[in-house]
Amino acid sequence: MSLYKNVKIMSTSAVIPLEVLPSAEIPIRNGTEVAIDSPRTETQAHHAILADLPGYSTIFNVDTTGEELGRLFAQYPDLPGAILFDENGFRGVISQSHFYKCISRTFGREIYYRRPASVMLNEMTVPPLILPFDCPIQTAVEQCLARPLNFIYEPFLIYEPESGEYNLCSLQILLLASSRLASLRNRQMEQILNSVTDGLLVIDRDFRIGGEYSKVVEALFERTDLRNLSLPEVLLPILDPVTHEQLHEYLRILFDPKLIDRLIKSINPAKQISVRFSSSDLGQERIKHFTLNFERIRTGKEISQVLVRIEDITQRINLARELEQQEAVAEKKLQLIMQILQVEPKVLNRFISCFNEGLSTLEHLLGAPDDSRDPRETIHALFRSAHTLKSEASFLRLTAYERALHRLEDQLEKLRVLPRLETGDLALLQPSLEALQRLGGQIHQALEQLKQFDAPAKPSAQAPSSPVTSREAGPMEMLAQVIAEISERLGKPALFHTSVRDDDLPEKYREVLHEVLIHLARNALVHGIEPADERKARGKNPTGLIQLELKMHPECHEIIFQDDGGGLNYDKIRRRAEQLGRNLSSEEELRQIIFEPGFSTSEQVTELAGRGVGLDAIHHALQMAGGRIFLHSEEGAYCAFQILLPLGLTSSAS
């Protein structure tokens, strides 16, 4: 009859443990519970066998990847290791300690995570210790101690020939197999305490540390001679007050014999704790992560002592955090790739080119700031560039770019509102610059990967610069898409009407008009078009209307962009101007101020509005093209922007 629950051996490389039996659970043997902390007579302890101990049944295929094992150990931190099988049967054991030793090496994660566990297994220089289920505990201790020093604390296997089952057991469980503390003072236990890699100590009912403990304990606590010291007092300088109080109370509960062990284990507040050590020479704190496990030792009906196992899991925690960060980066890369696949190649390349150009400008301004230039002008220029790129990213649904550029705007806003801005203050933008640089590197890698993936499917002579080959949308179609996307995003129904065709747009001004019209569309939907309920209450069609008209004149091109929204609210603009210390009386002055950098009547900042940058970017772009812009509005009826561009493209303001 099997002493452990039945386990089927996996024949695939899936990463689901068929069964994990935590050490807190009690195995069933012939229908009788066998508790390792039950009081025994010396005769009983002497005749105890390995079948009386709880074990772990974790069976994996040898092709299971290191990354999958990492998830297993993260989910079950008390698990000693994983048993590996292949089609021919048992192959070996990967202990948790060996796993973390492998991946903590230089490039360890890159080497082992994507490869089968057999790679780690092949590096084991000593085969696992396999003992029969009826082996006496004393003999098992002797066998464990006979192993090489570095392998004493490795888990061993308990094998039952009848069922062919293997179960993992740890040395800690062997230490708890006897209920008498006297076993800790014999020669074998002294050898163990000098050899184990974890901290082992015993505390009495007053929480005082016993005279014998493993050498590792002093290294963990970074102090010597812990005999007869109170464990709470030892932990006081390195634990935060809340955790220390919880642990102190837990120690009191540990010595209550009425509470069952399973409940005691479940409420352990020290399963993962952070401890802080001060560095006297550097004046800095070092943070480590420990796990403390407690096993109660009974004398009769009372709990006389508690065996404490202390493990430094700092490396494990740091690796887990790094893994989480890597997974987050990988997920972002995947999202970025999926977003890239939805964008026409030429449009994407144009955006990336503009992004890289803007990034180069930012790097130049921050790397070698010009002390002769007003830093506020630099802030305004960066704002215009970032806002224009963010508008484009929003339209292309490149949310990673949109969010990164929005965070840059947040930093720019903090600088813009400073009463006194110095050139050196621009250094505060460095973190945002580094984030954008990383993003630029990620999209470059993503494009290279997509090119390699797509290359075999297309002749090299015809290969596009991006694997996406869908039809490129023209300027008018793109503008209609922007209006539809923002309309849906804001919940404001709107139609776009125009008789202008792509070929009607002056070729020399096409890039400028693309930028300007995108900004105007956002402005119309955010500030102009009212919500459907409000429009209906005013007797308007619930669906807003945006129109574009192009006229040719002997001396210029005329573009009119109009919405039938609420028009300019002059009172609101005037109040905002007064808040900024500007006393404006005429409507012409009020129409002009909305083009100034940083001016906005929005009450809150969103990813679409509130910075006071959109109209400033429009005004600056048209100035650079030698054009002019005029504003016509009737409150409650419409708002129209009239753009005049000369027949010849100029490179600076006229």
284 — phi, psi (to 5°)? -120, 160
Which residue, among 215, 606, 600, has the nearest Cα to 403 in the 3D structure?
A: 606
CA 405, CA 362: separation in Å to the nearest integer?
A: 12
User: Alpha-carbon distance 640 to 548, whole Å?
Assistant: 10
The third-level CATH classification (topology) of the domain covering 28-175 is CBS-domain (3.10.580)
Alpha helices, H only, 550-604: 570-579, 587-593
Quote the distance between the C-alpha of residue 51 and its chain's center: 44
> pLDDT tens across 308-326, in order?
989 888 887 887 777 677 6
The residue among 55 and 162 whose pLDDT is bigger is 162
pLDDT band at residue 86 using 50, 70 and 90 as cut-offs: confident
User: Cβ(383)–Cβ(434) under 8 Å?
Assistant: no
Tens digits of residue pLDDT in 599-636 = 877 666 665 665 667 788 888 888 888 889 998 988 88
pLDDT for position 108: 76
Q: Which pLDDT score is estimated for 181?
A: 35
Please count the other Cβ atoms lying within 10 Å of the Cβ belonging to residue 250: 16
| pLDDT band of 214, cuts 50, 70, 90 | confident
Q: What is the CATH number of domain 198-318?
A: 3.30.450.20
pLDDT in tens, 238-251: 999 999 999 999 99
Mean pLDDT, the chain, whole residue set: 76
pLDDT of residue 497: 92
CB atoms within 10 A of CB 343: 21
Helix H or strand E encompassing 448: helix 430-454
**CA 209 – CA 228 distance, rounded (Å):** 5
**pLDDT of amino acid 103:** 81
What is the per-residue pLDDT across 2-48, written as a single tens digit (0 to 9) for each? 333 333 333 233 333 333 333 333 232 232 222 223 333 334 444 57
Is pTM, for the whole model, over 0.85? no
Query: What confidence score (pLDDT) does residue 415 get?
Result: 79
Q: How confident is the model at residue 162 (pLDDT cuts 50, 70, 90)?
A: confident
Report, as an integer, the average pLDDT of 488-513.
87
With cut-offs at 50, 70 and 90, classify the pLDDT of residue 463: very low
- What is the model's pLDDT at position 100? 84
> What is the rounded average pLDDT of the residues 117-140?
87
Q: What percentage of the chain carries pLDDT values higher than 70? A: 76
According to DSSP, residue 538 is labeled T
Fold (CATH) for 475-646: Heat Shock Protein 90 (3.30.565)
- 235: pLDDT confidence band, cut at 50, 70 and 90? very high
**Chain centre distance of CA 18:** 29
Q: For position 52, what pLDDT does the model report?
A: 76
| Residue 195 banded pLDDT, cuts 50, 70, 90 | low
Which of 379-388, 449-458, 523-532, 549-558 shows the lowest mean pLDDT across its residues?
449-458
- Say what the pLDDT of residue 597 is: 77
CA-nearest of 445, 363, 372 to 408 is: 363
Alpha-carbon gap, residue 440 to 405, rounded angstroms: 12
* Domain residue extents for the chain: 28-175, 198-318, 341-462, 475-646
| 244: CB partners within 8 A, 6+ apart | 232, 235, 236
pLDDT in tens, 560-607: 999 998 888 888 888 888 888 888 878 888 888 888 877 877 666 665
Whether residue 336 has pLDDT greater than 70: no
DSSP code at position 116 = B
For residues 206, 212, 214 and 220, what is the CA-based torsion angle, rounded to 10 degrees? Answer: 40
Q: Give yes or no for residue 474 having a pLDDT over 60.
A: yes
Confidence of residue 335 (pLDDT cuts 50, 70, 90): low
Q: What is the pLDDT of residue 486?
A: 85
Please state the rounded mean pLDDT for residues 294-304. 84
CB 92 within 8 A of CB 84: yes
Domain 341-462, second-level architecture: Up-down Bundle (1.20)
pLDDT score at 469: 37
Q: In the structure, what pLDDT confidence band is assigned to residue 654 with cuts at 50, 70 and 90? A: very low
Quick check: 466 pLDDT over 50? no
Greater model confidence, 211 or 40:
211
**How high is the pLDDT of residue 79?**
82
pLDDT at res. 111? 80
